[in-house]
A = this chain, B = another copy of it.
């Protein structure tokens, strides 16, 4: 018995590995990739998952790079950018808490977009080979992965329908709605720079500024700091409805 203990990793003697603790306590676990795994399953993988933080505007990965890892977002917002044939960039999707990003790495494909931190991030880095190994026998994991893919597809199609459709004011309103979904209820939202709003909604930064200011005057939006604001969710939904009726 004592000898069995002796061959275990030194940091497992008595207490669990710190990352195992982190995974077990992780608040996003139920909605995250390994939610389907039990404690034993977690113990098998935790040593190879690495928690890391990133600052706003840092790049997780670049388009074209062949990634060796995926990331689960524990807190924060990530944007996916592509640069068009002209020099200008276009933001095609946002991801937030609980989302698994960089899925194309599992298929040995190069990354389709630049992935860039919008807010300070807390991430879990999951090596691709880890999922390759688990994928052999964990049907639940396979299913969870497919759900992630479908979630991303849903988001992308909703982006076309909601954020790339209609007059500029409508698009700004729907962007604010999406931003509230990426934030804990009651918390201030991440408010993008005007240039980023332009890259999301395909409008000039002056237009973005005009509508943000307009909504501020209407009392629907109040800015609480740089890159931070509060929205009156009820008024926002009313405004969207009014916009769609007219």
Contact of A153 among B142, B156, B162 (CB under 8 A): B156
* CB-CB nearest in chain B for A157: B92
Complex-state Cα separation, A162 to B154, whole angstroms? 18
Interface of A is mostly: helix
> In the complex, are the beta carbons of A157 and B80 less than 8 A apart?
yes
Query: A149 in the interface, Cβ–Cβ < 8 Å?
Result: yes
Query: A233 in the interface, Cβ–Cβ < 8 Å?
Result: no
Tell me the chain A residues, 139-173 only, with Cβ under 8 Å from chain B: 139, 142-143, 145-147, 149-150, 152-154, 156-157, 159-162, 164-166
**A241: which B residues are within 8 A, CB to CB?**
85
CB distance from A12 to the nearest CB of B (A): 31
Query: A196 in the interface, Cβ–Cβ < 8 Å?
Result: no
Complex-state Cα separation, A97 to B112, whole angstroms? 22
> In the complex, are the beta carbons of A244 and B84 less than 8 A apart?
yes
Tell me the chain A residues, 207-246 only, with Cβ under 8 Å from chain B: 240-241, 244-245
9 additional A-B pairs beyond A90-B165, A156-B159, A165-B202, beta carbons within 8 Å, are A84-B244, A85-B241, A92-B160, A93-B157, A149-B150, A153-B153, A156-B160, A164-B164, A166-B202
